[in-house]
A and B are shown apart, each in its own frame.
Chain A
Amino acid sequence: MKHLLGTQDLSREDATLILDTTAQMAATQEREIRKLPTLRGRTVVNLFFEDSTRTRISFEAAAKRLSADVINFSAKGSSLSKGESLKDTALTLQAMGADAVVIRHWASGAADRLAQSGWMHGAVLNAGDGTHQHPTQALLDAFTMRRHLVADPDGKGLDGLTVAIVGDVLHSRVAGSNIALLKTLGANVVVVAPPTLLPFGMAAREDISVHYTLDDALDAHDLDAIMMLRVQRERMTGGGSGFFPSPEEYTRLFGLDRARMDRMPEHAIILHPGPMNRGLEISAEAADSPRSVIVEQVSNGVAVRMASLYLLLSGEEAPSE
């Protein structure tokens, strides 16, 4: 593995290796001294073209716990708004000797472009590109599900589990990454969204179950896990381009409240990539219930990012590209 750009090209072997490594990293985080010397002397750059404090501090914590030197590079704006171009930024980072670049960008494909353009030679880790991919989010979700739902998880996937993804699948890189990874790991994927928030062609896919209300999905499946996506309020209504008529209608049809939560099997867990809109896509009762693993997702995020950086930089090659 030279880069981690998305989950769609990740083999089951590589994905399982990352999850197993994550388990090892997570175990080290329960020790009194959590810092490992593994990446001492290596430089990791967090290159953020888009604000995301949560993701940035997660990567920063991961790199620091592996003893890497961390440089945070916030390049707000874009070449469109006459800021520095991605190319010039990459040339700068190359000149500074970055061993790995963690990139968050508003443009889909920016991480791929950085990895393939020849502008720089270090490893590229995609921390979210436009509406395309966010692979470490999918990996931390998979890790969290495996830990809760698979007995003796080491070396295993998510075979036979049924996972629902609910909400704005159209604009969500989290959904894009999760669907591909869940399929690779053997899970059944259920997608729940209004037709306006489904990407082209998804309803026709035979390897995914699509439902247009959450109640339909709960009727049709015994879910092992449900993942509620964040609703971007500003994007959703008004101006003639609303994807649904009102937040209230969205909550009625797609919100996870106590009644719907109670219809899921007892072992089923609730995930959310954060930040949550309490009362919109998820009620406080659901978010704070014992089934919710939302806070654990955050700590698993650090472990997944440690594992990813370790596998990309430690020289211990993953089995295949």
Chain B
Amino acid sequence: MSDTTTDAIVITNASLYGDTTADIVIVDGRISSLDRADAPAGARTFDASGLVALPGLVDIHTHLREPGREDAETIETGSRSAAQGGFVAIHAMANTTPTADTAGVVEQVASRGAEVGLVDVFPVGAVTVGLEGTQLSEMGAMANSRAKVRMFSDDGKCVHDPVLMRRALEYVKTFDGVIAQHAQDPRLTEGSQMHEGLVSTELGLAGWPAVAEESIIARDVLLAEHVGSRLHVCHLSTAGSVDIIRWAKAKGIDVTAEVMPHHLLLTDESVRGYDPRFKVNPPLRTQKDVDAVRAGLADGTIDVVATDHAPHPDEDKDCEWAAAAMGMIGLETAVGIVQKTMVDTGALSWRDVARVMSTTPARIGRDDQHGRPLEVGEPANVTVIDPKAAWTVDPTATASRSNNSPFGGIALPGRAVVTILRGRPTHIDDSLEGAFA
């Protein structure tokens, strides 16, 4: 992933972090000035009046499906979808076929990502061999490989054996790694189909109780404290989980947590009608939980928004609920949903969005060239957002190979219109045709 030398670009009149109007002059993949007067002759100029510029967005929870399920997504289509959504870097989860549990697989994913070149693809390594939860994978080899893996997760499955979880937390200290836990007690969720609550009772679907998530998070923060390790909690979804993370942070435990856009917007009420596009793990919760995760994100208890972009082909969703796969795509809708639920409601500023979607995720993933401030000398990784784009989600209009979005027909306020990775535009919105002079 070497720096790419590109033509100079000038973005004029952008609202940096939504609060300071400036120009961004990009030369040789870096921000060379914040004043257009310094732009070299012949630079391409783009007027960003009314648009918000943020450090390029980083997703620490993406499923790319390659290798193994290229019918659902490839590294190329997933990268393109990410760039369209404003992301410059994504962390590709390990639940591929074969599992990303060896240096060979993670290097293959990283090199294919670099070859596509639309986003930086950071492979996440599996904690246990084959995600089986019985034997630690060779995390050291993955960390020391060319993919330089720092984040490890059995996402999709929980590392539920407490001894194994303890060992994993301890082991990754060697290379400043982090265990990203999919918190789901397997016994409490056998056969589960949706959030356990009044709606599951009415629909006759087996419940996934909040306590199955909360009990694992509670155990894990205590383990992290005991062994002095870094823990990251994937896709936190319940009010009780927010309380536990808040308590853990107050105790000084080194834990971070992420929330998904769909858990900021949708509730289990969406499941009425049994449309499998709303089937996801962890499941859509109640309004009380939505309110709590929004509050947790606003007050910093939850550190990041990640997408859990999970592509599935039609045949895995166009079926009866119980037979359907869990997961939803979300790279291209994340910005709009965060704006709708957090920015337009006054809970977060755009500067906060930069923190939860770029700076902090890059720090958790140890991506040292990402999440950098929009300042002179920094890598030119920039996401430009049109907060007044006002668009309606069309699930089929996506760069992803799959179209299993639950947001079809939902009106969103804004979206990413330009994405720049090391000085090279990787996405220019159709609405800006010709705007790049």
Contact = CB atoms under 8 A, between A and B. Distances in A.
Please say whether chains A and B are actual partners in one complex: yes
Interface of A: 8, 78-80, 85-87, 105-110, 112-113, 116-117, 129-133, 173, 176, 199-202, 241
A79 B318 CA distance: 11
Contacts of B204: 108-109, 129-133, 173, 176
B320 interface: yes
30 contacts: A8-B202, A78-B323, A79-B320, A80-B322, A85-B319, A86-B320, A87-B318, A107-B320, A107-B321, A107-B322, A108-B193, A108-B205, A109-B204, A109-B274, A109-B320, A110-B322, A112-B273, A112-B274, A113-B274, A113-B319, A113-B321, A131-B205, A131-B206, A173-B204, A176-B204, A199-B200, A200-B198, A200-B207, A201-B197, A202-B201
Contacts of B196: 200
Contacts of A106: 322
B315 interface: yes
A188 to B, nearest CB: 20
A110 B201 CA distance: 16
Among B196, B201, B204, B319: residue with most chain A CB under 10 A? B204
Given A109-B205, A109-B274, A112-B274, A200 B321 contact: no
Contact of B203 (A78, A117, A132): A132
B392 to A, nearest CB: 21
A107 B323 contact: yes
Contacts of A85: 315, 319, 323
B5 to A, nearest CB: 51
Contacts of B320: 79, 86, 105, 107, 109-110, 113
Interface of B: 190, 193, 196-198, 200-207, 209, 273-274, 315, 318-323
Given A107-B323, A109-B203, A131-B205, 17 more contacts: A79-B323, A80-B322, A87-B318, A87-B319, A108-B274, A109-B205, A109-B274, A109-B321, A129-B204, A132-B203, A133-B204, A173-B204, A176-B204, A199-B200, A200-B207, A201-B197, A201-B198
Closest 7 CB pairs between A and B?
Answer: A132-B204, A109-B274, A107-B322, A108-B204, A199-B201, A131-B204, A107-B320
Majority SS of interface residues in chain B? loop
Nearest to A204: B198
A256 B254 CA distance: 57
A86 B274 contact: no
Nearest to A201: B198
A106 to B, nearest CB: 7
A208 B409 CA distance: 38
A116 B273 contact: yes
A108 B321 contact: yes
A241 B186 CA distance: 13
Contacts of A105: 320
A86 B201 contact: no
Contacts of B193: 108
A200 B202 CA distance: 9
Nearest to B323: A79
A26 B201 CA distance: 34
A132 B315 CA distance: 24
A83 to B, nearest CB: 10
Given A113-B274, A201-B198, A108 B323 contact: no
A200 B200 contact: yes
Contacts of B203: 108-109, 132
Nearest to B197: A200
A176 B200 CA distance: 12
Among A105, A129, A202: residue with most chain B CB under 10 A? A129
A199 B207 CA distance: 9
Contacts of B207: 200
A200 B204 CA distance: 10
Nearest to A171: B204
Nearest to A176: B204
B319 A86 contact: yes
A45 B317 CA distance: 25
Contacts of A116: 273
A200 B196 CA distance: 7
Given A8-B202, A132-B203, A132-B204, A80 B197 contact: no
Contacts of B198: 200-201
B313 to A, nearest CB: 13
A292 to B, nearest CB: 28
Among A78, A108, A132, A173: residue with most chain B CB under 10 A? A108
A150 B209 CA distance: 42
A32 to B, nearest CB: 42
B322 A108 contact: yes
A143 to B, nearest CB: 23
A131 B197 CA distance: 15
Contacts of B315: 85
Among B197, B203, B315: residue with most chain A CB under 10 A? B203
Nearest to B321: A109
A78 to B, nearest CB: 6
Contacts of B273: 112, 116
A105 to B, nearest CB: 7
Nearest to A107: B322
B201 A201 contact: yes
A128 B399 CA distance: 40
B273 to A, nearest CB: 7
A211 B320 CA distance: 35
Contacts of A109: 203-205, 274, 320-322
Contacts of A176: 204
B322 A130 contact: yes
A79 B201 CA distance: 24
A270 B392 CA distance: 56
A182 B273 CA distance: 23
Contacts of B323: 78-80, 85-86, 107
A200 B273 CA distance: 20
A117 B207 CA distance: 24
